[in-house]
Amino acid sequence: MNTKASNKKQYLATPLQGWLEDSGYAYLTERLKSNIDETISFNGKTKNCCVAMVDAVGSTKVTAHLSREDTCKYYGIFLNAMALIAREYGACVVKNVGDSLLYYFCDEKNPDGRSFAKTLECGMIMLKCSKIVNESMHDAGLPSVSYRISADYGTVMLAKSVTASSDDIFGPTVNICSKINRKADPNSMIIGNDLYQNVKNIQGYSFKQKSGVSLGFKFDYPVFALLKNK
């Protein structure tokens, strides 16, 4: 029997004790040295993208009172609805992280600058569809869901993951998009300054500056609430 396979089987059988022993540590060290780049592969490519995140507000508190089955239904209705809308607008849906969905619009697929407009339009229609989403929640005997959307623009790094069918994205733009999300009020959308500079003249929208977000620099990063003109 292969020694490496035998070791793996042994330590998986006793996960805590085995991995903490010297021999388990040695096996793990060997795995890290030889296979550390197998799961996520960076290809060196970058893209300029509008990155967006939609996050369910207060879902941990809401689902604390639900059964496991109802919790799955709750997240399923919300995340599937948001993913459907994002894809209808041509977004690449990357992944869901807990109660959030990460997606992006890429410049190369929208050379006429439509990625900017699509980001705003997609976010606004997500908010508009909250009534339909909550009707589905109520039909399933579940509580309503509120959500907030954040978006920003910048360069992202692409990576292939063995666990995902589409490219994963990394970099400061993704981190900022996640960080500014909590600046949005429930059932609203907020955007970072880099996206704002590219969309501020698009007709049909108005923007309200909010208190900035600290990114560890001298000045806070400006963020803006997005409003659709009637």
> What CA–CA distance (Å, rounded) separates 200 from 31?
50
The H-or-E segment that residue 48 falls in is: strand 40-56
Contacts of 213 (CB under 8 A, 6+ apart): 176, 179, 180, 183, 220, 221, 223
**143 against 230, higher pLDDT:** 143
Confidence of residue 41 (pLDDT cuts 50, 70, 90): low
Where along the chain do its domains lie? 3-35, 40-228
Quick one: pLDDT band at residue 99, thresholds 50, 70, 90? confident
Q: 70-79, pLDDT tens digit by residue?
A: 999 999 999 9
For the residues 57-63, what does the mean pLDDT come to? 91
What is the pTM assigned to this prediction?
Answer: 0.80
Length of the chain: 230
**Tens-digit pLDDT profile for residues 18-35:** 555 666 677 767 766 666
- 40-228: which CATH number, 3.30.70.1230, 1.20.120.140, 3.40.50.1100, 3.40.630.30? 3.30.70.1230
pLDDT at 161: 64
CA dihedral 125, 126, 127, 129 (to 10 degrees): 80
Alpha-carbon span 68 to 50, nearest angstrom: 35
How does pLDDT run across 154-173, given as a tens digit for each residue? Answer: 999 887 765 555 667 888 99
Q: Does position 14 have pLDDT exceeding 60, yes or no?
A: no
Work out the mean pLDDT of the chain and round it to a whole number.
84
What tokens were used for 98? 């807990």
List, for residues 173-214, the tens digit of each pLDDT value.
Answer: 999 999 999 999 999 999 999 999 999 999 999 999 998 888
